[in-house]
């Protein structure tokens, strides 16, 4: 009996092996990766695929010899959504805002608009849409490959494409660049193209509404702006950034009109100021044995018709190699034919609890002192600001 069973077993093994050789998927049960998962929906795709959400909190106090101590407390967020096909990202949408509570006002450099926003305010900062490689639908496959990154469209509210602000997020920093003082706003509503000219140069060219914070037309024709800048490789390889900028047209600026009766006579009741600017900017980062030294400068000249204007900014920053602390100083001056000049020197010390290279996780405490050396419409003053900020 045992011998008979062994004989049958020997006959069955080759038959089973032959069947498996003919069909290697014998015994495999088909399953679906979506088994047990709720059906796909546009809301899930929008909020889970290439969607980023960041939070921020800020607590800032400022005191001046000629103004009462002020408080600015805020909570905010930033959302970034990217839209992609299987082969490329074709669009991105960014929105950044914060809910702010102000009590009293002291003119700290990063809160010049605070005088007109007492109490509770919801403020928006970035609100724009980027469309990448917008000429692809009309280009051949070969031309698409040649023009990757050259023709991108931006529409919405973002930094004015003049000077270093396009490469520098200053919405939380106490130290600011030139545009706020130069034009009355550092961000504006606009639409335009940006991208690479070639391996060495980038460009930005756009039309701006010229209204600043609120999107509105009150008789201004808007502004045309263009900037030609060094390609990113110069920053990566040599620590060097720089550009040439031009801006021309009309903007709303009641402040500029109030500074000089000649400008006011041209501006009319709506404060429409004919504006021309030419600028050059540069930034150089040099690694040191114990840290990183960054030198920045912006120079611009032109007219707030009929007055000539000239703006200067020079800044030096040192960040320790640990990325835990840093020191900064800045000199800034804005001169206008007739009213005179606003001139300040600033010093700042910062302690970082978190400070990643990409800027996606920041946590700092800063103290800033500004000495106003010369003023067009007010007396000299000293402002001290203390700020805690976190972004994660």
Least confident of 49-53, 234-238, 287-291, 322-326: 49-53
- 263 phi and psi angles, rounded to 5 deg: -70, -40
Give pLDDT, residue 345: 98
Of 346, 356, 351, 340, which Cα lies nearest the Cα of 381?
346
Closest CA to 252 of 293, 222, 230, 290: 222
C-alpha span between 284 and 275 (Å, rounded): 29
Q: Which residues contact 290 (CB under 8 A, 6 or more apart)?
A: 320, 321
Confidence of residue 315 (pLDDT cuts 50, 70, 90): very high
| 252-263: average pLDDT | 87
The Cα-based distances of 79 to 84, 126, 198 in angstroms read 16, 10, 31
Q: Decide if pLDDT at 176 tops 50.
A: yes
- How far is it, in rounded angstroms, from Cα 108 to Cα 355? 23
Residue spans per domain, the chain:
47-391
pLDDT of residue 151: 96
CATH superfamily for domain 47-391: Porin (2.40.160.10)
What residues contact residue 178 under an 8 Å CB cut-off, 6+ apart?
Answer: 163, 298, 300, 311, 313, 332, 334
| 17-to-4, 11, 27, 127, 239 alpha-carbon distances in Å | 21, 11, 13, 65, 66
User: Sign (positive/negative) of CA torsion 223, 228, 232, 238?
Assistant: negative
Residue 10 has pLDDT above 60, yes or no: no
* Cα 347 from Cα 368, distance rounded (Å): 6
pLDDT bucket at 259, cuts 50 / 70 / 90: confident
* Per-residue tokens: 78: 């930033």
| Residue 39: pLDDT band with limits 50, 70, 90 | low
Average pLDDT rounded to a whole number, residues 274-303: 97
Give the per-residue pLDDT at 321.
96
User: What residues pair up with 322 in beta bridges, in sequence order?
Assistant: none
> What percentage of the chain exceeds 90 in pLDDT?
71
Lowest mean pLDDT among 65-69, 325-329, 353-357: 65-69
In the chain, DSSP assigns E strands to: 51-64, 70-84, 89-103, 119-131, 152-159, 187-196, 201-208, 222-230, 240-252, 272-288, 291-304, 307-320, 325-336, 340-355, 362-374, 381-391
Tell me: pLDDT of 59 over 70. Answer: yes
Contact 101, 74 (CB under 8 A): yes
Those residues whose C-beta lies under 8 Å from the C-beta of residue 222, and which sit 6 or more positions away, are 207, 208, 209, 210, 249, 250, 251
Q: How many CB atoms lie within 10 A of CB 40?
A: 9
| CA distance linking residue 314 with residue 304, whole number of Å | 23
CA distance 104 to 72: 9
- What is the rounded radius of gyration, in angstroms, for the C-alpha atoms of the chain? 29
Mean pLDDT of the chain: 89
Q: Could you tell me which residues are beta bridge partners of residue 298?
A: 281, 313
CB 264 within 8 A of CB 224: no
Beta bridge partners of 92: 82, 130
**Distance between first and last Cα of the chain:** 77
The pLDDT value recorded for residue 38 is: 61
Rounded to whole angstroms, how far apart are CA atoms 212 and 208? 9
Residue 70 CA, chain-centre distance (Å), reads 26
**pLDDT of 256:** 86
Is the CB of residue 151 less than 8 Å from the CB of residue 138? no
Among the residue ranges 101-110, 244-253, 340-349, the one predicted with the least confidence is 101-110
What is the mean pLDDT of the segment spanning 12-25?
47
- What average pLDDT does the segment 293-305 reach? 97
Tell me the three state secondary structure of residue 14.
helix
* pLDDT for residue 35 is more than 70: no
Locus of tokens 């720089």 = 242
Residue 37 has a pLDDT of 57
Query: Quick count: other Cβ atoms within 10 Å of Cβ 354?
Result: 14
pLDDT digits (tens, 9 = 90+) for 120-154: 999 999 999 999 999 998 888 888 888 999 999 99
Structure confidence at residue 9 (pLDDT): 43
Instruction: Calculate mean pLDDT across residues 262-285.
Output: 93
pLDDT in tens, 72-85: 999 999 999 999 88
* Cβ proximity of 62 and 51 under 8 Å: no
Predicted pLDDT of residue 173? 95
Residue 370 has pLDDT above 70, yes or no: yes
């Amino acid at each position: 009996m045992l011998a008979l069973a062994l004989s049958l077993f020997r006959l069955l093994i080759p038959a089973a092996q032959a069947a498996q050789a003919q069909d290697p998927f014998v015994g495999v049960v088909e399953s679906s990766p979506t088994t047990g998962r709720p059906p796909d929906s546009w809301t899930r795709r929008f909020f889970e695929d290439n969607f980023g959400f960041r939070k921020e909190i800020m607590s800032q106090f400022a005191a001046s010899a000629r103004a009462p101590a002020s408080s600015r407390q805020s909570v905010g967020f930033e959302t970034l959504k990217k839209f992609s096909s299987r082969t490329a990202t074709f669009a991105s949408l960014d929105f950044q805002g914060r809910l702010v509570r102000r009590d009293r006002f002291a003119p700290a450099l990063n809160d010049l608009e605070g005088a007109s926003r007492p109490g509770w305010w919801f403020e928006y900062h970035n609100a724009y849409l980027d469309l990448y490689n917008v000429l692809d639908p009309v280009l051949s496959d070969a031309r698409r490959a040649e023009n990757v990154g050259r023709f991108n469209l931006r529409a919405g509210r973002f930094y004015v494409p003049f000077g270093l602000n396009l490469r520098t997020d200053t919405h939380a920093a106490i130290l600011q660049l030139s545009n706020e003082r130069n034009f009355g706003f550092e961000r504006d509503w606009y639409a335009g193209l940006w991208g690479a000219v070639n391996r060495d140069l980038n460009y930005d060219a756009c039309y701006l509404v010229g209204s600043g914070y609120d999107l509105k037309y009150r008789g201004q024709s808007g502004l045309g702006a263009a900037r030609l800048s060094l390609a990113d490789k110069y920053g990566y390889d040599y620590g060097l950034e720089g550009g040439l900028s031009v801006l021309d047209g009309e903007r709303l600026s009641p402040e500029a009109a109030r500074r000089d009766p000649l400008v006011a006579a041209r501006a009319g009741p709506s404060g429409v100021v004919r504006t021309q600017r030419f600028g050059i900017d540069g930034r150089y980062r040099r690694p040191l044995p114990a840290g990183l030294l960054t030198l920045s400068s912006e120079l611009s000249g032109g007219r707030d018709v009929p007055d000539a204007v000239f703006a200067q900014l020079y800044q030096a920053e040192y960040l320790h190699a640990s990325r835990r602390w840093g020191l900064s100083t800045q000199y800034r001056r804005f001169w206008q034919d007739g009213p005179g000049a606003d001139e300040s020197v600033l010093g700042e010390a910062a302690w970082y609890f978190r400070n990643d290279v990409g800027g996606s996780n920041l946590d700092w405490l800063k103290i800033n002192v500004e000495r106003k050396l010369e003023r067009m419409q007010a007396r000299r003053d000293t402002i001290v600001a203390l700020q805690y900020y976190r972004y994660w």
